[in-house]
Amino acid sequence: MKILVFGSLNIDKVYSLPHLPDKGEMLGCEELETHVGGKGLNQALALKKAGADVVVAGMVGKDGAFLTDYLTRSGVCAEEIGTAAVPTGHAIIGIDPQGRNQMIIFGGANRAITEPYCDAVLARHGDADLLLTQYETACVEYMLRRAHEQGITTAVNPSPYVDAVKDLPYHCIDWLILNEDEGRRITGETEDDAVARALFALGGSRIILTLGSRGALYYDGENTVKTPAFAVNAVDTTGAGDTFTGYSLFALLSGKSPQEALRDAAAAAAIAVTKKGAAETIPDRAQTEAFLKERQT
């Protein structure tokens, strides 16, 4: 299975804080770590670790070569990643002792992607089984429309939420994967089933709605499947959604049932949150299967 991930590549600066800052508060911090990140990079890693062949398309600055190297070392094809004349995107991430985070994203090179770049990538990877993208790069709408015209199955994680997400070409999206907050903000609904129905009504995409510690929900216009989350001691929830996205999509595209796919993804995400970082904490298949066996599901 070949998956083209068109997405963000970030340098994550992770600050361990005594608590998440209040408005106007100045906080001291004793611990800073730098990690590879970006929703595109994280989701590509999750897909690879789940078992897919993955090609990443995106943009870094001259300071971002180590992100490309990291993907290559991980077995992901990074040959499509371009270099822009602006700095690599970065995230400033504050984490509290419960593993909850607050994030500031600087788009940098992720915002330097152009339509001709998208055309060139699609011309070389029209045979992809899936195009997966998020909302951290330029040209997302353009890429979706062009991929849809070429008959490529598409999946979107419309994150982070901004109002423009409401105007995505939903009829071009086959799979929509998002968290409960994003779902509520896009639809204006509050109750899970109503959110899923309203998202489906936007363009007929199959919906995967993650519900944090409450689990996840799948909806395809007829069937609804819900699974609980696994209880673990969370250290850092950054990248949990990306892990879930990669694992659930791989399982569904491999022919697993929605129930099995959500369970696999929940297990992988549960393992990921027990360590600090995003991409580096995504478990491989063997770890995920061992976790599921241990939890006897």
Indicate whether 38 belongs to the interface with ligand RIB (CB under 6 A): yes
Q: What is the DSSP letter of 168?
A: S
How many contiguous H segments (helices) and E segments (strands) does the chain have? 9, 14
Nearest distance, CB of residue 282 and ligand RIB, angstroms: 11
Nearest distance, CB of residue 176 and ligand RIB, angstroms: 16
Q: By C-beta, is 227 or 238 nearer to ligand RIB?
A: 238
- Cα–Cα distances (Å) from 87 to 10, 66, 105, 296, in that order, read 10, 13, 13, 46
Q: By C-beta, is 36 or 186 nearer to ligand RIB?
A: 36
- Which residue do the tokens 């959500």 mark? 262
Whether the Cβ atoms of residue 88 and residue 11 lie closer than 8 Å to each other: yes
Find the part of the chain contacting ligand RIB (CB under 6 A) among 5-13, 163-171, 206-214, 262-270: 5-13
Nearest distance, CB of residue 8 and ligand RIB, angstroms: 5
3, 15, 17, 37: which one contacts ligand RIB (CB under 6 A)?
37
Kindly report whether the peptide bond that precedes residue 21 is cis, defined as omega within 30 degrees of 0.
no
Whether the Cβ atoms of residue 204 and residue 221 lie closer than 8 Å to each other: yes
Closest residue to bound ligand RIB by CB: 37
242, 243, 250, 266: which one contacts ligand RIB (CB under 6 A)?
242
Alpha helices in 125-257 (DSSP H): 140-149, 180-187, 192-201, 240-253
Burial of 72 (0-12, 13-18, 19+ CB in 10 A): middle
Closest alpha carbon to 4 in 179, 153, 165:
153
Nearest distance, CB of residue 108 and ligand RIB, angstroms: 11
Indicate whether 238 belongs to the interface with ligand RIB (CB under 6 A): yes
Instruction: Please work out the total of residues on this chain that contact ligand RIB, with binding judged by CB under 6 A.
Output: 15
Build a one-symbol-per-residue string for 89-108: x at contacts with ligand RIB by CB under 6 A, - elsewhere.
Answer: --x-------------x---
- Cα pseudo-dihedral 225, 40, 49, 199, rounded to 10: 10
What tokens were used for 29? 């911090």
Indicate whether 12 belongs to the interface with ligand RIB (CB under 6 A): yes
List the interface residues with ligand RIB, window 147-206 (CB under 6 A).
Answer: none
List the interface residues with ligand RIB, window 42-81 (CB under 6 A).
Answer: 42
In this structure, is the dihedral angle defined by the CA atoms of residues 134, 135, 139 and 144, taken in order, positive or negative?
A: positive
Build a one-symbol-per-residue string for 120-139: x at contacts with ligand RIB by CB under 6 A, - elsewhere.
Answer: ----------------x---
Binding site for ligand RIB (CB under 6 A): 8, 10, 12, 37-39, 42, 91, 105, 136, 238-239, 241-242, 278
